[in-house]
A and B are shown apart, each in its own frame.
Chain A
Amino acid sequence: MDKFDLSLTLNGKSETRRVALDARLLDVLRYDFGSPGTKEGCGEGECGACCVLLDGVLVNSCLVPAFQAAGRRIETVESTPPDLLQTLNATGTSQCGACTPGVVMSIRWLLQHPEIAESVGLRAFMSGNLCRCTGYDGIIAGLEQALQSNAKKAET
């Protein structure tokens, strides 16, 4: 398989790796850029475990060809702020942890765009992240808590 030099900004750092031409963004994050926090759950854009922010937009990284990430900004679960992690851990958002990175990225996106929550509702918003452990209540609780903390921060 042909290779190419892929340069991108990962969690704020510019990096370049030589990667396979047919790789997906998910593959290069995990196996080339040393960022295995992002998980593969289904490989077909169904489960959302591989969610990342691409130029600030929530996407499934298993559906993004690596070459389209050239020159772009990627944020992954590894750059999640510690206070958000604490909030989510107290509410039971994670159990086995395999869907968790994608869930966390969806939550981070929603925190940046709280207006989405108002228009679609939290459960509909989270329906792109399939979880087999929590029954979603722990995830929704985490999301609610995070939105509240965010709103408080915005006030002060």
Chain B
Amino acid sequence: MQVHRPYTLHDALALMAATPTPTPIAGGTDLLVSWHHKPKEKLALLDLSQLGGELAAMRLTADTLELGALTTYWDVIASPEVSRAFPLLAEAARQVGAMQIQTRGTWAGNIGNGSPAADGVPVLMAYDATVVLQSTRGRREVQLDGYYTGYKKTVRLPDELIVAIQIPRRTRKAEWFEKVGARAAQTITKVGVAVVNDEKGWRVVANSVAPYVCRCRNLESALQKGQKFKSPEEIRDILKNDIAPINDMRSTAAYRETVLSRVLFYRLADKA
């Protein structure tokens, strides 16, 4: 196992271009899980924790929130301004694991890890976030919606680092988030959903119901057309083309599909 501990982004990007390609580590809340069961012979870690500066910063301007790659869930929870401007971020942050995880886990890490159950990603995607990737070759911005291409597969190239997440500030008519897990807190999501209706329209983002966190585009367009639903089953029929839930040891496909449509039904009846 190798460990690189750069002090500057410049050095970090240079190291990302090395072979073997290093795995970036920030809070470690995904990577260190069951650590001693993981083979490490070929592992090279790039520790981002000393970069600070730009990567640690959270900037709220008139039209954008920028989360540096080292921003933790706790940073958002502890910032009244950010929590007010983007309430779902704080709400989702409070439901990632428990306090001990929220103080370490980063939003960028949640995106980078690519878990279909990621709790931070649905709200970011519902807020129409952009991922800022950087390498020695330059910097580019990618819509978070479009970042994933398959189970734990993303458009990030091996030498690129997530350096920031940008979220546009818009006027929102509706926004809510619901996480369904096996217990009240400290739980992996069985099904979760974030919904935002802003000047650009509806975005419905679900997790744990597909190989990656995804938008439910058929449902969005139904909502866009102003469709009203008479039963959860109506929503479920539309969702069938949006999601592909599976059976695993945490839940069943039927449960995920049914619960997602029920949660949406009652929430939409309430707030839409």
Contact = CB atoms under 8 A, between A and B. Distances in A.
A–B contact with Cβ pairs below 8 Å: the answer is yes
Interface of A: 1-2, 21-22, 24, 43-46, 48, 51, 57-60, 62-65, 67-68, 106, 109, 116, 120, 124-125, 127-130
Given A21-B1, A67-B5, A127-B98, A62 B32 contact: yes
Contacts of B33: 43-45, 63
Contacts of B27: 63
Interface on chain A toward B: helix, strand, loop, or mixed SS? mixed
A60 B33 CA distance: 11
Given A62-B32, A64-B28, A125 B99 contact: yes
B52 to A, nearest CB: 13
B217 interface: no
Contact of A45 (B3, B40, B100): B100
Contacts of B99: 58, 106, 109, 116, 125, 128
A56 to B, nearest CB: 10
A21 B104 contact: no
Contacts of B225: none
B49 interface: yes
A120 B77 CA distance: 11
B186 A127 contact: yes
Interface of B: 1, 3, 5, 25, 27-29, 32-36, 40, 45, 47, 49, 74, 94, 97-101, 103-104, 183-186
Nearest to B25: A65
B100 A21 contact: no
Contacts of B49: 68
Contacts, number: 83
B90 to A, nearest CB: 10
A124 B187 CA distance: 12
The 9 lowest CB-CB distance pairs between A and B, nearest first, are: A128-B98, A127-B185, A63-B32, A44-B33, A60-B100, A128-B100, A57-B103, A63-B28, A44-B34
Given A46-B186, A128-B97, A21 B3 contact: yes
Contact of B101 (A2, A24, A128, A129): A128
30 contacts: A2-B1, A22-B40, A24-B35, A44-B33, A44-B34, A45-B29, A45-B32, A51-B100, A58-B100, A59-B104, A60-B100, A60-B104, A62-B35, A63-B27, A63-B101, A64-B104, A65-B3, A65-B45, A67-B47, A68-B28, A106-B99, A106-B100, A124-B184, A125-B99, A127-B98, A127-B183, A127-B185, A127-B186, A128-B99, A128-B186
